[in-house]
Amino acid sequence: MKVFKFGGASINSIERIQNVAKIIQSFTGEKLLIIISAMGKTTNALEKVAEAFYAGNKEEALQLFQQIKEDHVNILFQLNPQPLTILNDLFTEVEWLLHDKPVRDYDYYYDQIVCCGELLSTAIVSNYLNTITVKNTWVDVRDNFRTDDNFRDATLDWNFTQQKIEENIVPLFTTTNIILTQGFIGATDENESTTLGREGSDYTAAIFANMLNAENQTIWKDVEGVMNADPKLFPDAQFIAALSYTEVIEMAYYGAQVIHPKTIKPLQNKGIPLHVRCFLKPALPGTIVSDTPVHNLPPIIVLKNNQVLMQLNSKDFSFVEDTLVNKLHQLFVDIKIRPNLSQNGAISLYCCMDDKPDKIEKLALAASQLFDVQVEKDVVLLTVRHYNEAIVEKLKAGKIELLSQKTQETIQVLMKTN
């Protein structure tokens, strides 16, 4: 049994959906569990619907949603000119909600609205595959993936989900070779939809791979595999044929956009190899990620934009000691923000975080009870694994260096454009 994950870019046009069908057909006879993301930029578009709804702009929300509906119906009719009742059910569900007034918090509505992107795309692709006789069974993942109600960043109930997969998915494979389902979404014990965080489909795929003891997992992307830097920023980025789980988990943690950071653990725990392959060039082998250590890697470069540096100074020149530091950590937990890098001095602390303006504001305000707080915006966090001085100098050129940290393997530099 293999697990496949196709991202939104792999199904953003009729030709690409047909291309995905061809890839799936080339695995005829194998058992596949396939996760497909929302089409193209649908998740972003649904976020806009949720924002408009929550701001009280009902008409705007309905209008934005109308466009999403039309886009999906167009694709469906170009692929297969038959109505698909489930699409209407999904549309109606969202529209009903949009006619209400928001009374709960934003994250709850976000999940109820945004989850429909993957339900729509998988329903359309499943239907198309069946009409071209690639027989498959569509599954609503929310019937299996149980989470808590931490909307937009829900945590999986691992045991409950494992049990559901054994009850529902394992027996299904005795009657079907292909199961098509969604990533990124789940449901609470009260059947409210939840999401696992942006780009969470890779993670869902890994959970399925773990629980079904898959032979391997493949993430089909629009690049040849994992590169040592983002090819959009570094045109001479190099392809890497093999990587260890450790390397990839580090890269993802530092902000490389290759794979969702939570994807590796479920695979590593069961020794399941991960393939990253190109849906545009399926003949290429792609990158393989496994527990085999890989030596002589090129420098791996990750740039994380949109960072803030918060400097927290002792108010009265007393040392920044445990009690203060613990209080600060509690603020991070309460506000749900995580430093990407931190450094301590005698009377000051430095933390670099993603610039989520509402959270940063809350944190700065709360922390100002304990420290004198300074916030520096528009900062970039550069991370280089397997670095050498020459490459770091080149990457820092023309920038103001605010702070840096290094180990033997990794250097991180927080910098600002001059």
Site for ligand ASP in 20-39 (CB under 6 A): 37-38
Q: At what angle do helices 106-114 and 85-99 cross, to 10 degrees?
A: 160
- Residue number, 65 or 371, with CB nearest to ligand ASP: 65
Query: Per CB under 5 A, does 255 bind Mg ion?
Result: no
In the list Mg ion, ligand ASP, none, the entry touching 267 (Cβ below 5 to 8 angstroms by class) is none
CB of 321 to ligand ASP, least distance (A): 41
Q: Does 183 bind Mg ion (CB under 5 A)?
A: no
Residue 151 tokens, joined:
């909307």
- Number of residues in contact with Mg ion under rule CB under 5 A: 3
Query: What sign has the CA pseudo-torsion 37, 41, 47, 50?
Result: negative
Under rule CB under 6 A, residue 186 binds ligand ASP: no
Question: By C-alpha distance, which of 387, 304, 385, 370 is closest to 339?
Answer: 304
**Torsions phi, psi of 144, nearest 5?**
-120, -35
Q: Which one among 34, 72, 117, 206 touches ligand ASP, defined by CB under 6 A?
A: 117
What is the distance between the alpha carbons of residues 201 and 209, in angstroms, rounded to a whole number? Answer: 12
Classified as helix, coil or strand, 221 is: strand
Tell me which of 6, 128, 151, 184 binds ligand ASP, using CB under 6 A: 184
Alpha helix positions (H), 314-381: 322-335, 357-367
Query: For residues 184 and 195, what is the distance between their CA atoms, to the nearest angstrom?
Result: 6
Site for Mg ion contains 7 (CB under 5 A):
yes
Q: Closest residue to Mg ion, Cβ-based?
A: 7
Shortest Å, Cβ 125 to ligand ASP: 14
Q: Segment contacting Mg ion (CB under 5 A): 34-42, 210-218, 273-281, 312-320?
A: 34-42
Contact between 200 and ligand ASP by CB under 6 A: the answer reads: yes
Residue pair 275/286 in contact (Cβ under 8 Å)? The answer is yes
Rg (CA), the chain: 23
Q: Which of 2, 3, 6, 8 binds ligand ASP (CB under 6 A)?
A: 8
Find the shortest distance in angstroms from Cβ 199 to Mg ion. Answer: 5
In angstroms, what is the minimal distance from the CB of 120 to ligand ASP? Answer: 11
Residues numbered 143-182 forming contacts with ligand ASP, rule: CB under 6 A: none
Nearer to Mg ion among residue 8 and residue 117 (C-beta): 8
Q: Which residue has the tokens 């959009």?
A: 232
For position 37 contacting Mg ion by CB under 5 A, the verdict is yes
Phi–psi pair at 189, nearest 5 degrees: -70, -10
From the CB of 368, what's the least distance to ligand ASP, in Å?
34
Which position among 6, 8, 125, 181 is part of the footprint of Mg ion (CB under 5 A)? 8
Residue 162: Cβ-neighbour burial (10 angstroms; 0-12, 13-18, 19+): middle
Q: Rounded to the nearest whole angstrom, what is the least distance from the CB of residue 6 to ligand ASP in the complex? A: 9
Q: Which does 161 bind (CB under 5 to 8 A by kind): Mg ion, ligand ASP, none?
A: none
Footprint of ligand ASP on residues 219-248 (CB under 6 A)?
A: none
Give every CB contact of residue 115 below 8 A, 6+ residues apart in sequence. 142, 182, 184, 185, 193, 194, 195
Which stretches of 110-260 are assigned E, i.e. beta strand? 137-138, 178-182, 185-187, 193-195, 216-221, 226-227, 239-240, 242-244
Residue numbers 224-253 binding Mg ion by CB under 5 A: none
**Piece of the chain touching ligand ASP by CB under 6 A; list 144-152, 194-202, 312-320, 353-361:** 194-202
Are 49 and 65 a contacting pair, CB within 8 Å? yes
Closest by alpha carbon to 157, among 145, 172, 143, 175? 145
Q: Which residues would be at the binding site for Mg ion (CB under 5 A)?
A: 7-8, 37
Give residues in contact with ligand ASP (CB under 6 A).
7-8, 37-38, 43, 117, 183-184, 198-201
